[in-house]
Amino acid sequence: MKNETMDWTQLNWKAELTNNVVNIDQLKEYADFSAEEEKELREVTKVHPINIPRYYLNLIEKNDPNDPIRRMCFPNADELVVAGDMGETTQDPYGDDKHDKGNGVLHKYDYTALVVATEYCAMYCRHCFRRRVVGRPNDQTLRKFAGATKYISNHPEITNVIISGGDPMMLPTSVLRQMLMPLAEIEHLDFVRIGTRTPATYPIRLFDDELIDLLQEFNEKKALYIPTHFNHTNEVTPTAAEGVKRLRNIGITVNNQAVLLRGVNDTAKDIKSLMSSLLRIGVNPYYLYQCMPVSRVRHHFQVPLKQGIELVDKAKQDLDGYGKRFKFIIGHDIGKLEICGMIDNKIVLKQLHARSGYSETASRLIVQEIDDNAGWVTL
Ligand code: SF4
C-alpha cells in the first residue's frame, strides 16, 4: 500500500471538491504538454470534461510516464479517435437507452431496476462507459427520483434496485436520505445497491459521519450493498482501506467491479495484485468487465478478448479461492455474459442475465469463433 503524506480523513468532503483539477490550465501544474498536445487536449475536454480530486492526483507516480492512475484520469489525445483499431463504437454499448422508463429508471432485467440519480462524479474517469451522460448538469434529481420510486413500487417483479449515476455518493446526504428511505418501505425489494467509485477516487466522502449514520439506518431496514470500482492496486491506499472499513463496520458488503484496461491493469500481475489487495481490505472481487466498445474509449483502452482470457487465467492460477471468485464479464446489449475461456479458436460464454422477455436465453452457453484481435462479440 502506498504511503500517504496527508491525512485526507479530516477534510470536509464538499469543500475539498472545490480543489479538484477541472481544466487544462490547472492540469499543466501537474504535467508538461507541448503546444500541440495542449491544443488536442483542449479539444478532448470539450467532449469529456476533466475532473480530478487532489486525493487521486496524489496517487500518481510523477516519474512514471506510464503510470496507471494517470491514465485513468488525465485526458488523452487518443480520445479524439471515435473508432480506431479495435473496431466500431457506440455511445450506448449496454443498450441502456432502450430500457429507459423515464425518471432515470433503466429496467433491462425483470428483477433489477437501475436508477440514474445524478450525472456528477468526484472524478471523471477517462474510460467511463456512461460518458455520454457523466458531467452533464441535472437539477431535477429529487422530483425524478420520486417518479422512479413510484415505478418500482408498481412493478412487484423488481427484487432489487441499483442507485447509480454518475456517483450517487456525490449527492448531499440529505438528498440521498430522501431517495433511500422510501425504498426501505417497498415490501417486494430484497435489497438495494448504491454504486459508487468514491472508495477508489474520493474516500474522503466516507468520513462524513452523517452519511455513515444514514447508510447504517437504511441497512437496518433493508439490506444495502455497495458495488465499487477499483481498477488498480495503487488505488487501494490506507485512506481507501479506512473508508471501506467504515462501511463494513456498519454491516455493509462491498463488492468490486473492475474494468480490464490497456495500460492500466492488462497483465496477470496487475489483476492478481488488485484482487489480493481488495481482499486485504475486505472488498469482494466480483466482476472484471471487458472494456465496452465505447466511442473515444475502445480504441486505446480495450484489450483483445483472447489476451484478456489468457491473463485472467494466469492471474487466477495464483489466486486463492476468494481471489478467483471474480467473473470476467461482457456487459452486452443482450445481457450479461460470463467469459468462461477458449476452446481452440472459439470463445465460450455463459449468459448470466437476459433482457426482459428473453428469459429463455438466460443460462445458455454460447460458443463463437473469434479473431485474435477481436475485442467484442456480435450476437
Ligand atoms: S465514477 Fe463511474 S460513472 Fe463516474 S466517470 Fe468514473 S466510471 Fe464513469
Q: Which tens digit of pLDDT belongs to each residue from 101-150? A: 888 899 999 999 999 988 899 999 999 987 665 655 555 677 888 999 99
Task: Look up residue 350 and give its three cell numbers.
Answer: 455463459
Pocket test for ligand 1, best of 47, 126, 134 (most atoms within 8 A of CB): 134
The pLDDT of residue 254 is: 98
166 CB under 6 A from ligand 1? Answer: yes
Average pLDDT value for residue range 242-249: 98
Taking a C-beta distance cutoff of 8 angstroms, is the pair 57, 141 a contact? no
Place domain 96-369 in its CATH homologous superfamily: Aldolase class I (3.20.20.70)
Task: Report how far residue 53's alpha carbon sits from residue 158's, in angstroms, rounded to the nearest whole number.
Answer: 36
The pLDDT of residue 165 is: 83
Taking a C-beta distance cutoff of 8 angstroms, is the pair 375, 305 a contact? yes
Residue 370 has pLDDT above 80, yes or no: yes
The pLDDT of residue 97 is: 73
51 Cβ contact list (under 8 Å, min separation 6): 20, 21, 22, 121, 122, 123, 124, 135
The pLDDT of residue 226 is: 98
Q: How far is the CA of 332 from the centre of ligand 1 (A)?
A: 18
200 CB under 6 A from ligand 1? Answer: no
Please name the amino acid found at residue 183: L
The pLDDT of residue 132 is: 61
Taking a C-beta distance cutoff of 8 angstroms, is the pair 277, 231 a contact? no
The pLDDT of residue 140 is: 66
Query: Which strands make up the sheet holding 112-116, listed edge to edge?
Result: 105-109, 112-116, 160-164, 191-194, 223-228, 253-260, 284-290, 327-332, 335-343, 346-351, 365-369
Q: Dump the DSSP string for 208-267.
A: -HHHHHHHHHHHHHSEEEEEE---SGGG--HHHHHHHHHHHTTT-EEEEEEEE-TTTS-S
130 CB under 6 A from ligand 1? Answer: yes
Question: Among 140-149, 235-244, 345-354, which is the least confidently predicted range?
Answer: 140-149
Task: Look up residue 2 and give its three cell numbers.
Answer: 502506498
- Which has more pLDDT, 339 or 88? 339
Q: Report the chain's mean pLDDT, rounded to a whole number.
A: 93
Pocket test for ligand 1, best of 69, 167, 169 (most atoms within 8 A of CB): 167
Percent of the chain at pLDDT above 90? 79
Task: Report how far residue 226's alpha carbon sits from residue 305's, in angstroms, rounded to the nearest whole number.
Answer: 28
pLDDT class of 221 with cuts at 50, 70, 90: very high
**Nearest ligand 1 atom to alpha carbon 127:** 7
Average pLDDT value for residue range 158-172: 94
The pLDDT of residue 87 is: 82
197 CB under 6 A from ligand 1? Answer: yes
Residue bearing cell 448504491: 194
232 CB under 6 A from ligand 1? Answer: no
pLDDT class of 3 with cuts at 50, 70, 90: low
257 Cβ contact list (under 8 Å, min separation 6): 227, 228, 229, 286, 287, 289
Residue ranges per structural domain of the chain: 8-80, 96-369
Name the closest-CA residue to atom 7, ligand 1. 128
121 CB under 6 A from ligand 1? Answer: yes
pLDDT digits (tens, 9 = 90+) for 277-290: 999 999 999 999 99
The pLDDT of residue 63 is: 87
Give the containing element (helix H, strand E) for 109.
Answer: strand 105-109
Q: How far is the CA of 51 from the centre of ligand 1 (A)?
A: 11
The pLDDT of residue 95 is: 67
Average pLDDT value for residue range 181-187: 97
